[in-house]
Amino acid sequence: MCPLPHFFTQRMLGFIYKYTAKKFIPALLLCCLYTKYPDAKPIFALMQFSDIIAQANAKLQLAELVQHNRLSHALLFLGKEGSGALSLAMAFGQYIVCDTVNGKKKAAPSLFGGGEPVTPMTVATNDSCGVCPSCSKAQKFVHPDIHFSYPVVPKKSGDKPLSTDYVTEWREFIQQTPYGNVFDWLQFIGAENKQGNITVHECNDIIHKLSLKSFESGYKILIMWMPEYLGNAGNKLLKLIEEPPPDTLYILVAENESQILPTILSRCQLVKIPGLTTSEVASALTERANMNADKALQVASISEGNYREALQLIQHAEEDWQDLLREWLNATLKGGPLAQVKWIEEIGKLGREKQKQFLRYFNHLLEQSVRLKSMGPDSPQARNMPEKERDFAIRLNKLADINQQQAIIEELDKAAYYIERNAHGKMLFHALTIKLLHIIADKSLLLVN
Ligand SMILES: [Zn+2]
């Protein structure tokens, strides 16, 4: 055999391996991962509008504000937990700095209208490109013109914490948990039971940062998550919001309008982010969390338009809330004080998140009971309920009439509210057990399997 072709083939194979396989094999593995876990997206590709669940109207409204130069200097994104308001704010920040969207001019056009004549956007696109250098930085949350502010806690007593003290944790958190809430965040930074704050020092830091010139994009953007945590310190920012430095944009992302300083609220343009619909949550679960359609719909219907809640429910899917609920009702109505204390001990150990989920699940079952009663057990809606759930709902209807169920729902809502605010779990469930007993009074029907 002629040695030359052999040698040549070997060299060629070596060459091919050296220059392609090293890249190709990991890429192939990544492709396999993708097929199996469609939610396993590359970690830094999350913040285009297209990455955010539903919210088509809000996305269009925001893009048009920019395209028509109708942007106000201070926007308040108001959306309940799990609606994606923070993700939208980040995608919007990226949209504004994106080189493709704003045509990468040396002097960027004013987005805010008024004053000098405005240069129109070069490309009327409704999403950032996701690949230009600015998008790439924004996606890693390291764009020098996009600043973040969020509640933090002192690292040691006497500390005057700034958001930037936690910037590494923040970047990690929003990559992993873009639909997370402030509780998740405070747990993430190990705050335990400490209350988070956006302090007066943070406000001074913001004033300082925004007084500097922009670095790259021509705009300076501050995304403040949870201005509810500002307290009176927020008044420091009023002047800045009222007379902003040129090309500065404040995006406040809040869940609860009533907890924001009225002086700040009145100076912001409101962008309402609605909760997701059940079918939007369900299809997000099917596409992103690889769930089958039936199960996704079931989880979505309990999550009430809150994608964070839906993800939490999946995580704890193995927990059988029905058993726990059955035990509670039996202990409350039949078991007497000893059984009640035993059950309260048990739920006391679960931790706040699971306690909240349990209450939410009970609420969901009560709603199903009301539905069953109004539509009849043979209606198509009733037949679509999971069988175990329908049986339980029928039992609940025997246990309590609509007024009683309504009273229980109100108590469950209140309890969830207090749990969120650090109420002592065992004491709360003790009080709730007594209330439940009073509401149902003597209609004590044993709930059996
Ligand atoms: Zn871009």
Q: Where are the domains of the chain?
A: 1-36, 49-275, 279-315, 321-440
Residue 439 one-letter amino acid: I
The predicted structure's pLDDT at residue 282? 94
Q: Residue 249 C-alpha to ligand 1 middle, in angstroms?
A: 18
CA of 97 to the centre of ligand 1 (A): 7
Q: What is the pLDDT of residue 317?
A: 59
Which residue, 86, 235, 282, 278, is CA-closest to 175?
A: 86
Cα of 55 to ligand 1 centre, how many Å?
21
Is the CA virtual torsion 18, 23, 24, 25 positive or negative? positive
Centre of ligand 1 to C-alpha 102, Å, is: 9
Strand intervals (E) in 163-226 = 220-225
Cα of 224 vs centre of ligand 1, distance in Å, is 22
Q: Give the pLDDT confidence score for residue 106 in this predicted structure.
A: 40
For residue 254, what pLDDT is reported?
97
Q: Please give the distance, rounded to the nearest whole angstrom, from the Cα atom of residue 304 to the centre of ligand 1.
A: 34
Give 96 Cα–ligand 1 centroid separation in angstroms.
9
Which CATH number, 3.40.50.970, 3.40.50.300, 2.40.30.10, 3.40.50.10490, labels domain 49-275? 3.40.50.300
Is the pTM of the predicted complex or chain greater than 0.85?
no
Give the angle 92-30-138 at the CA atoms, nearest 5°: 20
421 Cα: distance to centroid of ligand 1 (angstroms) = 40
DSSP per residue, 203-214? HHHHHHHHHSPP
For residue 21, how far is its CA from the centre of ligand 1 (angstroms)? 30
How far apart are the CA of 158 and the centre of ligand 1, in A?
42
First to last CA, the chain: 79
**Tokens 């993700």 label which residue?**
87
Expressed in angstroms and rounded, the spacing between residue 383 Cα and the centre of ligand 1 is 49
Ligand 1 mean position, distance from CA 142 (Å): 14
Q: How far is the CA of 134 from the centre of ligand 1 (A)?
A: 6
* Cα(236)–Cα(67) distance, integer angstroms: 31
Rounded-to-integer distance, Cα 226 and Cα 79, Å: 11
Q: What is the Å distance from ligand 1's center to 404 Cα?
A: 55
From first to last of its 449 residues, what are the pLDDT tens digits of the chain? Answer: 444 445 444 554 444 444 444 333 333 333 333 333 334 343 344 689 999 999 999 999 999 999 898 889 999 999 999 999 999 999 999 999 999 988 754 445 566 765 443 444 444 689 999 999 999 999 999 999 999 999 999 988 888 999 999 999 999 999 999 999 998 898 899 887 788 899 999 999 999 999 888 888 889 999 999 999 998 888 889 988 888 888 899 999 999 999 999 999 999 999 999 999 999 999 999 999 888 888 888 888 888 899 998 988 787 654 578 889 999 999 998 888 999 999 999 999 888 878 888 898 898 889 889 888 888 878 877 776 777 788 888 999 999 998 899 899 999 999 998 988 888 989 999 999 999 998 887 544 444 44
CA of 94 to the centre of ligand 1 (A): 7
Three-point CA angle 145, 151, 155, nearest 5°: 105
